[in-house]
A = this chain, B = another copy of it.
Amino acid sequence: MSDQNNDQKLTFTFPDGSRKTFDRGVTGHEIAKSISGRLAREALSITVDNTVLDLHRPLTSGGNITINTWDDEDGRLAFWHSSAHVMAEAVEALYPGVKLGIGPPIEQGFYYDIDFGDRTISSEDLPAIEEKMQELARQKNRFDRFEIPKEEAVAHYREKNDPYKLDLLEGLEDGTISFYKQGNFTDLCRGPHIPDTGAIKAVKLTNTAGAYWRGDVKSKQLTRIYGISFPKKNMLDAFLHQMEEAKKRDHKKLGPQLGIYMIDRMVGSGLPMWLPKGTILRRTLEAFLREEQLRRGYQEVITPHIGNLELYRTSGHYPYYKDSQFAPMQVDDEGYLLKPMNCPHHHRIYDNEMHSYRDLPVRLAEFGTVYRYEQSGELNGLSRVRGFTQDDAHIYCTNDQLKDEIINCIDLTQFVFSTFDMPIDIRLSFRDDDDQKFGGERALWDRAQKEIKEAADEMGLKYRIDEGEASFYGPKIDFIIQDALGRKWQLGTVQVDYVMPERFDLTYVGSDNQKHRPVIIHRAPFGSMERFTSILIEHFAGNFPVWLSPQQAIIIPVSDQFNDFSETYRKQLADAGIRVSIDKRGEQIGAKIRNAETSKIPYMLIVSEKEMRSGTVSVRKHKKGDLGSFNFSEFLSIIKREVNEKALPETE
């Protein structure tokens, strides 16, 4: 909060640029009310500059403000955070003596980690908790914030014999600690919260899971209860419908069923194997990106899946990220690490020859498979694995080239996701004032951040800036794509890096004949081929566009006698690069069609006496049914055009 107002008046600037002045101590609620009664009813929190606050909190300084409603992410986060407190209150009421861990809002809803002692909680217990929550919500209990000295808070939890809150308190700075209280429930909490529980009109507790305290397997396993809540009943209905649809599309079901991948205990948890159909899908995605990258001046390299520990000591990835890596292997008294990332290898390739400023940017790309340790409980189909292939690239450029390269990265990412009809938002992670937290020169950071923002503005992208959320290496852009169900997924990242050029002593010779440091951009539009494929399966519900379909067409002769003729069609299609087969089994045509539908093959070409005589095909489209009769050459043009244009499947 800026403190331009030291007197009794505070001036606030609204998102549309208009300004209003209020008495010092005015609350967000009062500001909302001054605009409209409806806004006051729908308001959930207020953002003053970059800080989100309770609506009831008296404001002590002015600045840029947003009154957050359900439509704002910060509004939803407060709503779900408050819902987590209500859930905790309900649980405490139903299960006296439980101990609470942490209960944050998440992308979609909230959770709370709870130590139920000897009791085991399963999904069957959730309806009762939901009901209690609804009862508490109807009480419209106000969320009240208060602060007490840290010692007092520690004494309180010590008396309650609560190891988790004591552990949390230990990590907090000395001084005053904030708490929130609603109804009979009080929790150590930074906030912000919504005004009262009354806004919570619909609740659904979705599932339970085991969760180690602080994610540490050596700590006690708590029960995590996931839930979601809404300000309107029909929003929950829509959400449940979406959940139902998501379940049908679950890549863990569809993936193996469509022959995309398998996971085999004997090979290893979290180590998917790409089956023949999945391999075609992946190779097609790779070829698509490779071709586009080539056009944009990338060069492909291939590096080994292990590296000497020396390499990772130089990059700092070892031992710093040891816990998320596989243990090193000892070879001839040297340690080797299963590659957790491709960057150090690429840096060494860059450093293999002298570069003049005229050679830059150097853009090294690799579909590089990396391995990271994930706890077995965290593994999930293709979306959370221990081995995955990044569509990785590292761009080595001058600071003057940075903006153009970032624009190119954003543009490539937009190009890629528009091909799948997936809109993207971006999040910009910038640095704050703390010089200790960030590597590289401050002036370079400032310039890069300014240029990233300019790039995003010029390209008309929606973005949010998270101050202080940059990594140590440099500012970063995250891409959040939206799938056909409206779900959001964070995929590719564009990371500016001022640190690795120093660590690997990378240079180029400038026009001044002096050595200079290049700046590095790390980027990966898909992020991981595995995770992106999991999203793609669910996005398309397995009904891939023709260009991506592992099998694009199937020829169905109505009886054996048309097998040979079908072969002439098959050959012409195959020669045109179409992935096609003939269903020669001695089955009824109905069964063959059903089979092709189940396999989600886009085109079924039925061949009988009539088609053979007239050189036509009777075309059926997956999920659409009979399209009628086509000259074979006409059909060939249609399917070739669909492949070339990467046409999207028509929605039902």
Contacts and interface: CB of A to CB of B under 8 A. Distances in A.
Interface string A382-407: 00000100000000000000000000
B345 A267 contact: yes
A329 B327 contact: yes
A395 to B, nearest CB: 14
Given A311-B267, A329-B326, A348-B266, A279 B300 contact: yes
A647 B304 CA distance: 32
- Residues of A in contact with B, size category: 35 or more
B301 A279 contact: yes
Contacts of A264: 348, 352
A305 B369 contact: yes
Interface stretch (A245-253, A330-338, A411-419): A330-338
A302 interface: yes
B275 A349 contact: yes
A123 interface: no
Nearest to A574: B295
Contact of A352 (B272, B275, B376): B275
Contacts of A304: 267-268, 271-273, 369, 371, 387
Contacts of A327: 329-331
A331 B276 CA distance: 28
A394 to B, nearest CB: 13
A314 interface: yes
Contact of A306 (B272, B301, B338, B345): B338
A283 interface: yes
Contact of A332 (B276, B282, B302, B376): B376
A204 B527 CA distance: 57
A349 B273 contact: yes
A301 to B, nearest CB: 5
Given A267-B348, A329-B329, A330-B327, A275 B301 contact: yes
A592 to B, nearest CB: 15
A488 B266 CA distance: 40
A301 B373 CA distance: 23
A595 interface: no
Given A276-B299, A373-B331, A271 B306 contact: yes
A389 to B, nearest CB: 8
Contact of A266 (B266, B274, B311, B332): B311
A330 B326 CA distance: 8
A300 B283 contact: yes
Interface string A256-271: 0000001011111001
Contacts of A273: 301-304, 345, 348-349
Nearest to A327: B329
Contacts of A338: 305-306, 329, 338
Contact of A274 (B262, B301, B306, B344): B301
A308 interface: yes
A352 B256 CA distance: 10
22 contacts: A262-B349, A264-B348, A264-B352, A266-B310, A267-B311, A267-B348, A268-B306, A268-B308, A268-B334, A274-B301, A275-B301, A276-B299, A278-B302, A279-B301, A279-B302, A280-B300, A305-B305, A305-B369, A326-B329, A327-B329, A327-B331, A328-B329
> Lowest 3 A-B CB distances belong to which pairs?
A276-B299, A274-B302, A271-B304
